[in-house]
Structure 1
Amino acid sequence: MTKFLLSVHVIAAILVVGPIAVAASMFPRLVRQSAPGADLLHRICRGYAVVGVAVPVFGIATGASLGVLTDAWLLTSVLLTALAAGLLALSILPGQERLLATPHGAEEPRRAGAARLAMVTGVFNLLWAVVVVLMIVRPGSTTGA
């Protein structure tokens, strides 16, 4: 069962978090240029965010199955995942909505908002990169590097 849970967790992380990271990263540039497609990227982020709940659910189930729920590397990963989810739900998605609602003639607010959103998205992506490294290295684990 552990192998199944781990497989679903990894597949969900790749197929859900990956598209959010890419779409969220592309959004500020497109909205800054008033290029078509920004609304599609926002819908991708919003839709995949809902499905993204599967990643930590299967991750925690895998951790429980392996008996590592109290390991520092896993607790750190859970905390960083929660921070990334919070950034997505409380900053990135609302920021995208605000920028989509900004009139096309208001270039300075659009440019400033896009720059701020790009920074927050970079932090979001960095958090996920750290989580991936923790999942691979697992400090203190007998199977870690």
Structure 2
Amino acid sequence: MAAFPTLLLSLHVLAAILAVGTLAVAASLFPRYALRARGGAGEDVAEEGRERAAGVAAFLHRVCRTYAVAGLAVPVLGMATGSALGVLTDAWLIASMLLTTAAALLLALAILPVQRHLLGHPADGPPPDSDGGTPRPTPAATAASLAMRTGVFNLLWAIVVVLMIARPGSA
């Protein structure tokens, strides 16, 4: 392998570890702290504990937003690496790109907005019910749903990692 593709691959892997890894951890921790901040964690939390949890939740949301932007380097470097190696049309890479796109859409449309909603910014979160008959979900239900979405996000990235290592059909 020539030096340039090796450099691109190294940068791609570093970006994935630092950006996506950090994002995965922060997004996974967020629902617990957001729910605790709202006093709905099923435990009696003092006001000081709620304030601390609210600060942690806000910090985790900022980390998620920041690393979501930084994470854009991962597919950019991945495509540059794939191009340099001549594998852009390989099935494993195309599948990885589709899964990466799905993870990015999930993050942008179903994780970050719900995080903002749980932080008390409902205008940026899920829209209010339009039929008037269905009650709005409780913070606990919203946090549970967010935790599930985050789990799916992390699973998509885990599958991408396996595809990057195993590269089915490339041998």
Report if TM-score (shorter chain) is over 0.5.
Answer: yes
For 2:12, the aligned partner's letter is H
1:100 aligns with 2:119: yes
Distance (whole Å) between structure 1 residues aligned to residue 121 and residue 81 of structure 2: 43
Aligned to 1:58: 77
> 1:1-145 counterparts in 2 under 5 A?
1-34=4-37, 35-36=53-54, 37-101=56-120, 109-142=138-171
Q: Is the radius of gyration larger for structure 1 or structure 2?
A: 2
Structure 1 CA distance, aligned partners of 2:57 and 2:116?
10
1:47-102 alpha-carbon deviations (Å, 9 max, x no partner): 11111110000000000011110000000000000000001111110010001017
Q: Distance in 2 between matches of 1:31 and 1:110?
A: 9
| Alignment: residue pair count | 138
Show the counterpart of 2:127: none
Unaligned runs of 5+ in 1: none
| 1:9–1:55 CA contact under 8 A, matched in 2 | yes
1: distance between equivalents of 2:157 and 2:11?
A: 17
Structure 2 distance, partners of 1:109, 1:50, is 30
In the TM superposition, structure 1's runs of 4+ consecutive aligned residues that sit over 6 Å from their partners are none
Shift of 1:109: 1.6
**CA distance in 2: counterparts of 1:58 and 1:102, whole angstroms:** 34
Q: Secondary structure at the match of 1:33?
A: helix
Q: What is the letter of the counterpart of residue 117 of structure 1?
A: L
State the distance in 2 between where 1:102 and 1:48 align: 20
- Which deviations, in whole Å up to 9, do the C-alpha atoms of 1:117-145 show, x marking residues without a partner? 00000000000000000000000112xxx
2:36 & 2:58 partners in 1: Cα distance? Answer: 13
Residues of 2 paired with 1:31 and 1:61: CA distance? 38
Q: Distance in 1 between matches of 2:117 and 2:14?
A: 32
Q: How many Å apart are 1:17 and its aligned residue?
A: 0.2
1:29, 1:60 → 2: CA distance? Answer: 35
